[in-house]
Structure formats: C-alpha cells, structure tokens
C-alpha cells in the first residue's frame, strides 16, 4: 500500500477534472479524495497499490477533454487506507 498527495496544476478547474479524477480513481480501485484549491489547482490524496497509483498519475496528465495539466507535484504520505471509505470529491 502507498499513500500520496498530488497537486495538479494547469487548466484543471471548470473542465470537469474532479469528476473525471473520481471516476478514474474508482475504476482503478483507489481510495482517497479530490478537491479544488482556491489558487486554481486541484489536490488529490490517493491510497492503494503502488502500480495503480502510478497508473492514476499517468492518467492525471491527460485529464478530461478540456483540461491542460502543466505539472503534478507528488508528496508521499503515511496515511492508512482505513481513513477512507472509497473515493470522494470534496467541496
């Protein structure tokens, strides 16, 4: 199990990025959260198998149709998966 926090920079608000991210994470069986930040970025916390997290990061660079991802910062965390019930979009 791995836990990671992502900060996704670019044109990622107003394009359905959080919903898309939620759907992709759910397909991969990951737990965690995704939310918009006041500075226009998106933050996500992912918990799950390392291979699936790596795949999610790859997909995150693509995003939904109108998104443009410039950069993704990664920070490893020590969060236990039992803190999360599936994957949620935070407001």
Residues marked as catalytic: 18, 36
Q: 58: burial class by Cβ within 10 Å (0-12, 13-18, 19+)?
A: exposed
For residues 8 and 44, is the Cβ–Cβ distance under 8 A?
Answer: yes
Beta-bridge mates of residue 77: 3
């Amino acid at each position: 199990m791995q836990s990671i926090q992502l900060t996704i920079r670019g044109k990622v608000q107003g394009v359905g990025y959080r919903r898309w991210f939620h759907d992709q994470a759910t397909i991969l069986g990951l737990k965690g959260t995704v939310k918009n930040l006041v500075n226009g970025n998106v933050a996500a916390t992912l918990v799950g198998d390392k291979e699936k997290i790596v795949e999610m990061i790859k997909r995150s660079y693509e995003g939904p149709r109108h998104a443009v991802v410039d950069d993704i910062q990664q920070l490893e965390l020590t969060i236990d998966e039992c803190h999360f019930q599936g994957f949620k979009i935070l407001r």
